[in-house]
Structure 1
Amino acid sequence: MTRTLEDEWLWGWDPTPGIVSVWAEPDGRAFVWRRVPKAGELIREEPRFRPWLLLASLEDLSHLGERLRPEQEAPGPQAVTWQELEGPGALRYLVRADDGRALTAAVLHGASRRLGRSIGHVRELGADTVLSLPPEEQYLIASGRTYFRELDFDELHRTQFDLETTGLDPTRDRIFLVALRDPQGRAETLEAHGDDDAAEADLLHRLVERVRAFDPDVIENHNLHGFDLPFLARRAQALNVPLALGRTGSPGLRQRPASRGASLERTAQARHRDAMRHVRYTVPGRELIDTMDAVLRHDFAARDLPGHGLKAVARHLGIAGPDREHIPGARVHEFFRKDPERVRRYARDDVTEAAGLARMMGGAAFALARMAPRRYERLADAGPATGVIDPLLVRAYLHSGAALPAHEGGDGTPHSGAGLHLFATGVARHIVKADVASLYPSLMRQYQIGPKRDRLGVLLALVDRLVEQRLAAKAQAKASPPGSPERHSHEALSAAMKIVVNSAYGYLGAGGLTRFSDVHAANEVTRRGREVLGLLCDELAQRGVTLLEADTDGVYFSVPDGWTETDERRVVSEVAALLPPKVRLEFDGRYAAMLSHEPKNYVLQSYKEGPLILRGVAFRSSRAEPFGENFLRRALSCLLAGDLPGVREAYVSTVTALRRRALTTFEVTAQVKLTKSPEQYLALRERRRELPYEAMLASGRTRWTPGDSVRVYRAVGGQAGLLPSSEDPEPNDPRDYDVDYYVRLLRDTFAARLVRALTPEDFSAVFADPQQLTLFAPSLAHSRPVLTVLMDPRNQPLRGE
């Protein structure tokens, strides 16, 4: 195996620079748009390719007779050629034709004859019989091309657009304003000149004209696929407006299956069943990017965002400007009638923030498109295992002329879990985080643990190359000026490589879901991981630290008073030297204090002034009521400072504010996502009533779509309440929430998350009801948080079997 071959497996082999979009048709026509790096000129190419399928047998094509011929023979008119790939893989016949539809029809015809029943789609034949990919992926795999070679992210021509609508239902509400931002960063608004069909249709025509005039490579927005495009498609259909947003082909938005996007009912009869399908829209020549995907991917790993909405994320990341206009989402149309210029500013701010968010968080998907043979927009929402690693493996095997294994179910062997240890709960001081960099991929490299059926060793080769090149990208990023395009590019490449590397183990262990899954190899990785983690914890404990929590990401521990940062780094370095060579332990940070609550649920306070770092669902949840989160942050700051009277004050002031109804209704609402349609809920309502749907019905809302996000609360008398806005309280706030319920929630849910840091007596004193006065109330002046050691590795060895 040469290094050149490994590079081709990872990056492809065609050096064509500047590809910004690929569209292919089943008839063998491909359309490729390229931007000349540094010059910016757009070039369109129309190469032809031979569509292909990968089959386990040629039996279903035998009816073609002489039209079925070996690949080395010159293909004649309407001929189908075949090439037998090497090795033991089940999918071993690569068949090609000038027209993909004709090729598929021939396979379906033969399969129908063989099975004695009509077969309408190749997926009915099963993944062990055929591999069929979208035309663009067929083209990219066969050609060895990838997107964005030699391009920086900032060289893309990107446009953002955002709809402002009179409501959320496209069957009865309208689009009255559209904000756009052109590739040069200029924001503008388009408005409907009236409230009728003709005015809205004219607005949509002008939107199409502006997009075509901008001619962007990429169209972006936050929740683009969840709201803007589905709403736009429905309104355009109702108004008979052709959406000629693509660069070629007939007008209209095409659909593709997706895990997140517009929810469509398959049939009218499906309304009473959980039979929704999700689609995304796509157009030839432009990539449609939803920044929500990058936000969800980031928060899945980091868990540090206050929410997933554009405004919350923009504020958190510092993208929002100081003069950012805010209007409650449900009242934008009302405000437009009174103060249109304010709404125009609001809408322009939306597209400006969407552009900033796309640049800040979209680099990883951009870099992945340089590797994987898929459209950029598909990689932006793809899962890293089946969405990125699988295409890389398929391309590598076909490029090497090797047969691919089919998906296989496991042999019943269970997947053993990872190592996760909670050594102590409560509050500890002088905290160190020692990070184990990509433990499982490192163990795969160290001990050459790969899937048994990957006879070419592609997965391990990809992991090796990615780890090496990621280190180089990180070094180049550090050496580049802050904020420069070069730094952004290297950081994005490093992040993309990390995504793929860290997914390699998941790919290995996803029994039956990935082509090369191998539960036995995955179990060997976790066994080695537990062994390394045990060694790490044993050695740290022997050096006088107090272990708090350890898992495959690293170890948190507390060091004795008087230790300096030099002492802390020395201990980490000593233990790192004892680990296997390709397993790297790094000093990752130091903190003044930590609340250890449960495994993977903790709070950190840095030595410098700054916000607390909260990790885990106990401290971060999109459903948590704002009043409870605000209390927790105040109480936790006091707790980690050792100030129990301050924790008491935070509790008393919150209870008092609830009882005086000084808190707005918004502050007691929970944000929930609706998962049932109105018909589904009504069919179940007599057996079980659920607050979110009761709130919808009580407010007069009888129509909603699964996936809608709403804010609900418990009102007096056990009634359900709904807030139309997800951002701000309504004016004339009724504040009709159930005070007693929220006081109980404060103590039993939010305050309970501090229970492991206090003695039972102190917990009772801190969270005693302020209305129940006692003559003998205990003093908290000398009380302090506690730390409880649960296990000691020196007494309970953790090393693997």
Structure 2
Amino acid sequence: MPDRPAPDTPALWGADPTPGIVAVEFDGGNRVTVFRRGGSGLIRETDTWPPFLFLESPDLLGAWTGPVEVLGLDGPWDYRALALFPSWDDLSRAVTRLRKTTGKSPRGLDGPFYWIADPVQQYLMWSGRTFYKGLRFEDLRRLQIDIETTVTPGFEFPNPEREADRITLVSLADSTGWEASLRSDRLDEAGMIAELNRIVAQRDPDVIEGHNLFNFDLPYLEARAKRHGLRLTWGRDGSAVRSRSSQFSAAERIVAYTRYDVYGRQVIDTLFLVQLYDVTTRELPDFGLKSVARHLGLSADDRTYVPAGELAGLAEADMETLVRYGLDDVRETREIARVLGQSHFHQAQMFPFSHQNTVVRGTATRIDALLLREYLRQRHAVPKPPPKRSFAGGYTDVFVTGVVGPVVQCDVRSLYPSILLVFGIRPSKDDLDVFLGLLRDLTRRRLEAKDRARAAPPEERSALEALQSTFKVLINSFYGYLGFPQGHLADFDAAERVAAEGRRLIRTVLEELRRRGAQPVEVDTDGVYFVPPPEALGEEEAFVRDLGAVLPEGIELEFAGRYRAMFSYRPKNYVLLTEDGDLRIRGSGLRSRGIEKFQRVFLEEMFRALLEGRADEIPKIKERFLEDLRAHRWTPEWFAKTETLHDSLEVYRKKRERNARNASAAYELALASGRPYRPGDQVTYYVTGDSPRVRVFEAARLASEWDPAHPDENTAYYAAKLEALYRKFRPFWEPEDGGKGRQPTLFNQG
């Protein structure tokens, strides 16, 4: 057991120690059904709670004639009363009435009342219960699902609304090692879906997992089931899956998706886990299942790969290969969920959210829920969120551009959390001192988990590392919470003070680096890349350790890495060459998933040559790419783009008629095809012609129409793109004085 919720820390774990909860479902009124795993198997219980509403004053309900009990809350803050209702319907009617009488939205931040609109979250906050207490991640029953389909000739991607785009394979696996394949050569589509329903009920998973499950597999299965008069009856009560439109955010990425809920089970899309992982690492080339599995070292040596263009017809041509491919997909999904999903398992043990919601709720929202739960438990008044305002953030700068090396990276360990603790900075309205209490507890537990992980046997180490990683994510969220506009205890003045202390401390590190003869290259909030002085070469860790002596007690500087070379481009955009020869590209200015593959590959080869001291080879690399392009040696995957249709063709046409949007190659191709493209369909296209100056929407052609015997890609257009990319970076290996072949080590020192 990697960690046990302590009864003396209810602010972190919730006050109720009930073990084994794997699902909570709202059943109307004031009732929930709680599913728990116990020694005798799955236990199903009914529980109740009083749906509640925070109020500025009991007088707000003066005209309310329905049943209600109003409690006074201690403290001076805005919401000083708590209204308890006998049912969710009564609460909803009261909220509707308050909306009319006050003119304020129940979702507003400045209204005289505040409610939590999720009944399961309300129940968990009121009861102090959380998911998974007393369970290990391995105790969960997890089922993985993946489907394969046909594609109607002439289309790029499958669409469940097209009759012929049927499901050909459903691949299944679970956390026990069990596997199964439902095949179209043995069952018709209706039979496959009916058998899938039976298997879900029989295997009885706590969690259903898939990669792109919300935006592909589940919508596809649901639509095809409907075509046959069936439903996906996966609920533990025999009910069908439920769906609604929603959004998921991972840093700057905002993804529209169809959320699916299954009664008594959690639904986890590993694509979301991958995107959250990439927020911190920024290492993934893309979010596809295969490339992520390879990046994480989870692919089997004998993994079956099939080119994307051959999948649609493989059920007819070679079903056995398709079956192996599908099983490898669900195995990799299972492993990705194991590696990246344990953090959310541990978070579900703490937060008053379902496991599924810990993935899709933001970190600041989760911190706010912890604080509100404790204020509710202690029956203390809750403030409204403060007015939003801007303030200066972390210190970011570049002092050197070009190629430097060797380079050392040092970081101030947990800079902002350390500042909060060392200087005792907390929200001004946190009367109960929950904020810093939680931060101290999480910090202590993280250090304990790290120590235990180092000493643990291999079979226990993974769980402990996931636990300490969970604590780290939460610890680093506390500063962000102070500037969270929806946070009830947010404090922009405190956030501003933390950021100012951070800038002061990192400048202290920079001054000491220069005093010791080092050359800072880049600083980004809590970390510095620098070229060490000659006497520190080979002793970089000791150098950083001595450097840290300039910081106050409790603020630690740590050695974070040594690199053979670094290409510094602009703030937060750089390339590192590791001691092992790996290339790490950071920043949207150097790595974009929106450019064609040939540009991404060229950039990687160019950066490697630049960092390995082979800058004189870069012109030859460019010429090789141009030669391959002009000789038509590339297949469309190298130069084609794929776009998703978000509007219907009719909506696009009407927008164009009133000049409400620009012309789009993907939409123009879909219109010209005469085929029934729908929102959600993807169009892959390339550019034809012989001039570098073309209007793409007029010169585009479907990638499926490319003929290797008569290639017609616009080599002049793509060559111009490559030349522009080359010219963009050329000054970094050919100085303005024209000294070709001389690779400088430092440019533009500031």
Task: Tell me if both proteins adopt one fold, taking TM over 0.5 as the criterion.
Answer: yes
Residues 671, 711 of structure 1: 8 Å contact kept: yes
1:417 deviates by: 2.9
1:587 deviates by: 0.6
SS in 2 for 1:434: strand
Instruction: Tell me what 2:155 maps to.
Output: none
> Cα distance 1:631–1:498, how it changes in 2: closer, same or farther (>3 A)?
same
1:509 deviates by: 1.5
> Cα distance 1:5–1:359, how it changes in 2: closer, same or farther (>3 A)?
closer
> Cα distance 1:439–1:735, how it changes in 2: closer, same or farther (>3 A)?
farther
Aligned mates of 1:403, 1:230 — CA distance in 2 = 44
**Does 1:58 pair with 2:50?**
no
**Does 1:438 pair with 2:414?**
yes
Aligned mates of 2:354, 2:633 — CA distance in 1 = 52
Aligned AA (2:383): P
Aligned mates of 1:468, 1:675 — CA distance in 2 = 47
Choose from 781, 784, 789 the match for 2:743: 784
> Cα distance 1:661–1:330, how it changes in 2: closer, same or farther (>3 A)?
closer
Instruction: Tell me what 1:179 maps to.
Output: 171
1:670 deviates by: 3.6
1:442 deviates by: 1.8
1:91 deviates by: 2.3
1:272-311 CA deviation, whole Å, 9 max, x = no partner?
Answer: xxxx975411012110000011110111221100101111
Aligned mates of 2:298, 2:684 — CA distance in 1 = 25
Aligned mates of 1:383, 1:369 — CA distance in 2 = 13
Instruction: Tell me what 1:162 maps to.
Output: 146
1:237 deviates by: 3.0
Residues 174, 334 of structure 2: 8 Å contact kept: no
1:384 deviates by: 0.9
Equivalent residues in 2 for 1:578-597, closer than 5 Å: 578-597=550-569
1:598 deviates by: 1.0
**Does 1:48 pair with 2:48?**
yes
Q: Structure 2: which 5+ residue stretches go unaligned?
A: 152-157, 250-254
Aligned mates of 2:190, 2:30 — CA distance in 1 = 36
> Cα distance 1:680–1:89, how it changes in 2: closer, same or farther (>3 A)?
farther
1:766-789 CA deviation, whole Å, 9 max, x = no partner?
Answer: xxxxxxxxxxxx863xx2233124
Aligned mates of 1:145, 1:625 — CA distance in 2 = 49
Residues 20, 217 of structure 1: 8 Å contact kept: yes
Task: Report the count of equivalent residues.
Answer: 723
Aligned AA (1:489): A
Choose from 478, 481, 498 the match for 1:507: 481
Aligned AA (1:100): W
TM-score (norm 2): 0.90
1:711 deviates by: 4.2
Residues 437, 583 of structure 1: 8 Å contact kept: yes
Residues 256, 281 of structure 1: 8 Å contact kept: yes
TM-score (norm 1): 0.84
**Does 1:200 pair with 2:200?**
no
Equivalent residues in 2 for 1:484-499, closer than 5 Å: 484=459, 486-499=460-473
**Does 1:455 pair with 2:426?**
no
Instruction: Tell me what 2:132 maps to.
Output: 148
Aligned mates of 2:579, 2:106 — CA distance in 1 = 60
> Cα distance 1:404–1:179, how it changes in 2: closer, same or farther (>3 A)?
same
Aligned mates of 2:535, 2:543 — CA distance in 1 = 14
Aligned mates of 1:488, 1:746 — CA distance in 2 = 44
Aligned AA (2:548): A
**Does 1:219 pair with 2:169?**
no
1:63 deviates by: 4.2
Aligned mates of 1:165, 1:615 — CA distance in 2 = 36
Aligned mates of 1:564, 1:110 — CA distance in 2 = 69
> Cα distance 1:513–1:99, how it changes in 2: closer, same or farther (>3 A)?
closer
Instruction: Tell me what 2:612 maps to.
Output: 641
Bigger shift: 199-208 or 750-759?
A: 750-759
Residues 23, 34 of structure 2: 8 Å contact kept: yes
Residues 403, 745 of structure 2: 8 Å contact kept: yes
Choose from 382, 398, 418 the match for 2:376: 398
1:354 deviates by: 0.6
Aligned mates of 1:585, 1:735 — CA distance in 2 = 57
Aligned mates of 2:386, 2:682 — CA distance in 1 = 38
Instruction: Tell me what 2:252 maps to.
Output: none
Instruction: Tell me what 2:578 maps to.
Output: 606
**Does 1:682 pair with 2:658?**
no
> Cα distance 1:326–1:422, how it changes in 2: closer, same or farther (>3 A)?
same
Instruction: Tell me what 2:447 maps to.
Output: 471
> Cα distance 1:180–1:337, how it changes in 2: closer, same or farther (>3 A)?
same
Residues 699, 721 of structure 1: 8 Å contact kept: no
SS in 1 for 2:47: coil
Aligned AA (1:665): P
Aligned mates of 2:621, 2:319 — CA distance in 1 = 42
Residues 99, 106 of structure 2: 8 Å contact kept: no
Residues 19, 35 of structure 1: 8 Å contact kept: yes
Choose from 33, 36, 54 the match for 1:31: 33
Aligned mates of 1:734, 1:400 — CA distance in 2 = 75
Aligned mates of 1:672, 1:690 — CA distance in 2 = 10
Equivalent residues in 2 for 1:390-429, closer than 5 Å: 390-410=368-388, 413-429=389-405
> Cα distance 1:481–1:123, how it changes in 2: closer, same or farther (>3 A)?
same
Aligned mates of 1:122, 1:166 — CA distance in 2 = 46
Residues 192, 202 of structure 1: 8 Å contact kept: no
Identity %: 36
Choose from 69, 76, 79 the match for 1:88: 76
> Cα distance 1:702–1:242, how it changes in 2: closer, same or farther (>3 A)?
closer
Aligned mates of 1:186, 1:731 — CA distance in 2 = 43
Aligned mates of 2:674, 2:173 — CA distance in 1 = 37
Residues 688, 714 of structure 2: 8 Å contact kept: yes
1:636 deviates by: 1.7
SS in 2 for 1:289: strand
Aligned AA (2:43): I
SS in 2 for 1:47: strand
Aligned mates of 2:195, 2:308 — CA distance in 1 = 24
**Does 1:720 pair with 2:700?**
yes
SS in 2 for 1:281: strand
1:132-177 CA deviation, whole Å, 9 max, x = no partner?
Answer: 2312111111111111222221111110111222343222233332
Instruction: Tell me what 2:523 maps to.
Output: 550
Equivalent residues in 2 for 1:90-489, closer than 5 Å: 90-109=78-97, 112=100, 114=101, 122-123=106-107, 128-167=112-151, 168-172=158-162, 173-192=165-184, 199-248=188-237, 251-255=239-243, 258-260=246-248, 278-329=257-308, 331-386=310-365, 388-410=366-388, 413-482=389-458, 484=459, 486-489=460-463
Residues 128, 407 of structure 1: 8 Å contact kept: no
Aligned mates of 1:733, 1:458 — CA distance in 2 = 70
Instruction: List structure 1 segments (4+ residues) > 6 angstroms apart after TM superposition.
Output: 3-6
Aligned mates of 1:94, 1:202 — CA distance in 2 = 53
> Cα distance 1:699–1:359, how it changes in 2: closer, same or farther (>3 A)?
farther
Aligned mates of 1:681, 1:713 — CA distance in 2 = 20
Aligned mates of 1:417, 1:579 — CA distance in 2 = 20
Residues 516, 533 of structure 2: 8 Å contact kept: no
Aligned mates of 1:373, 1:334 — CA distance in 2 = 46
SS in 2 for 1:296: helix
Aligned mates of 1:731, 1:220 — CA distance in 2 = 39
Aligned mates of 2:672, 2:729 — CA distance in 1 = 33
Aligned AA (1:490): L
**Does 1:662 pair with 2:658?**
no
